[in-house]
Structure 1
Amino acid sequence: MTLQEQMTQLARQARAAARELATWSTAQKNECLLAMAEALERQAPALQAANAEDCEAAQAARLSAAMLDRLRLDEKRIAAMARGLREVAALPDPVGRVLDERVRPNGLRLRKVSTPIGVIVIIYESRPNVTADAAGLCFKSGNATILRGGKEALRSNQMIARLMVEAARERVPAFPEHAIQVVTTPEREAIPALLSLTQYIDLCMPRGGEGLIRAVAECSKVPVIKHYKGVCHVFVERAADLDMAEKIVVNAKCQRPAVCNAMETLLVDRPLAETFLPRIAAVLAAKKVELRCDAESRKILSEHPPAQTSAWKIRPASEQDFYTEYNDLILNVRVVNGVAEAIAHIGQYGSAHSDAIVTRDEGAAQAFLQGVDSAAVYWNASTRFTDGGEFGMGAEIGISTDKVGARGPMGLEELTSYKWLGYGSGQLRT
């Protein structure tokens, strides 16, 4: 069987499964999700063993420390996958919601009702927990899903999907076995082959680095929801509470630097730069963060170095640095003069993902919230909150920075379409 034939078979099977899922009740879907969660917990040792093989191969291939962190499945992450499935089961069913209803003068009743999208392809890198998150959300919203993870996580992804399907079929025998499928070939040509099948596939969502997402968007013949990168900012405004600002900056950069909602650029308002920059630089240096500074912040830090300089890593920031998503303990630093200049910087260099202002000045905060055109904008909170679980949506399928269609964390409602139902009594158009 050729690669194209393999992908066509996957897509046909998914289309058939999607037709079945569209008629499923909420109770049936929830029963399956709970069974999937139990199976992941019960089979955690076997899942960790498969993941250990992936991690060993990834280390031999010299993957970066950040990528290895994304790949690794420990007990906490397996428990989080199971918890995410249970949270999705507890959420309202997004299918069948009446979004609009009207009666025309001729008596024709029209109802706009939410429906599944159909077949969704998810393409992602390293993080095997995406397999459970994406499959669970697609399933609850009545969609069949085809999962194409990175080759470095192939064993982990296949086992997660297999455990979920087997558990669902055991609990509800009518579960369509092809509702959740994993592309098992690591060949890159599988992606354009799969995304050429517009008669079977309705949507693609790539999750990963900018290179992956651009490659998928350029080759796909089906619609793609995307975010190219997460160049997120925290702006510490002149009226900020500096204790709060320090905690938010450290959390946004250091809590998990390899994810898309981690801060990549710190903007500091000029009136407090000489006070705040040396303070935050010392804290970040202790956490082994490399600073890439504009001329003004570099001058301030050279004149006010921290007491402990053993971990001090600072270098000039290039123009390109401000466009860069590092996914690492590297942070750009720039001094700006006021909210307007911060908004202008984010508008030029940002990626419309997540940006935050720290201030006690409500007027400054409102100007920032209105002026920054990103999927999520925060006042006195870390950018790390841009996440489906943190938004109360259950596990998310991704973050969209598109402006048409879904934007921000994509939960259940974002995985539905709609159709119009017309109820007549013989009406004819004249």
Structure 2
Amino acid sequence: MVKGSVHLLLFLYLSAISVGIAGRVVPLHEPFDKSTFSRSFSSIFDTSKYGILQLNNGLARTPQMGWNSWNFFACNINETVIKETADALVSTGLADLGYVYVNIDDCWSSLVRDSKGQLVPDPKTFPSGIKALADYVHAKGLKLGIYSDAGIFTCQVRPGSIYHERDDAELFASWGVDYLKYDNCYNLGIKPKERYPPMRDALNATGRTIFYSLCEWGVDDPALWAGKVGNSWRTTDDINDSWASMTTIADLNDKWAAYAGPGGWNDPDMLEVGNGGMTLEEYRAHFSIWALMKAPLLVGCDVRNITAETFEIIGNKEVIDINQDSLGIQGRKVHVSGKDGCRQVWAGPLSGHRLVVALWNRCSKAATITVGWEVLGLESSMSVSIRDLWKHEDLSGDAVASFGSRVAVHDCEMYIFTPVSASRSAV
């Protein structure tokens, strides 16, 4: 049997199951209809690494969603900001859409450990302590995340957790922490593969289920090994609120698409939507591609003062549903054209025999982007119904062989393609 056939059979099998906890197989939906797709489908959407590495701790069946303090607040955080953010996630309806993690990033702790060697919340900014904050967040139906570092210091020179993994994990668990972002600064030159597993073991030993987010910046190709260690792993350096940064990071993360799946996800860093450095079109593209790539959706703006335009983007349930799709296969770049490849097609399989397709214009002016069925692995005669996820409407008439749309500068149109049955397409 040829390699491509093996991959297709694996894909068909995985489209019918989810990766269950403790080996329990949970049916999801019927497998893809083979007649719908061409022989090239399995090579376009390679699933050969799907599900084989994921840490089976019951978490991250879909990518994590929530908020993180760093992109907007950096070190200017305190317990009031965290409480007000939790309040805002609930009052705006973002929590109901799945944004449930309230993650404190760097600068929450004092500059030194106490006399017993324990981490201590900064008494000026977190005077009530993390346990009280976790209780507040939990009472809202949300989860609390915290930050540490697999080095001697955090990136902002607070105490790191290397060689303190067990004590720190037990402390986090005693506070009721639900999520740990684990950074990579001041790492003593020790390889990430050596520094990250001890915290995994320490977290597991606490008996509390804690999401483990590795933030080693893609230094040691974590997609190749981190699935056995954590629930997500950073594949890139830090994002910043610019078009250049966002597009570069999207391309870098795309390389590892075959390695993501339920239980473990590639992480191209947090969302910048709403922070002011990009246009609304660029933010729409940012959110679309992150959702398609099954990236964590961690809001990075001040949700206490969210604008209607920003909410319209991060609150788009149809796009969120792409990110949270039960099949859990990362979409990827499948076709480029134009100068420097600026007219791009990104796509990925979804549950229910569907495909998500994004037409992304990275050119300097508006452009028509067309996708042919061959780049999606569809038979050229297949009729496809199309749903526009930003206009929230079904397009009239079914498409055959290709589909195109005029896309504004740096914008991204996003669709669900549903192949129509052969009998219907023959009518």
Greater helix percent: which structure? Answer: 1
TM-score bracket for this pair, using the shorter chain length:
under 0.3
Larger Rg: 1 or 2?
1
More relative contact order, 1 or 2 (CA 8 Å, 6+ apart): 1
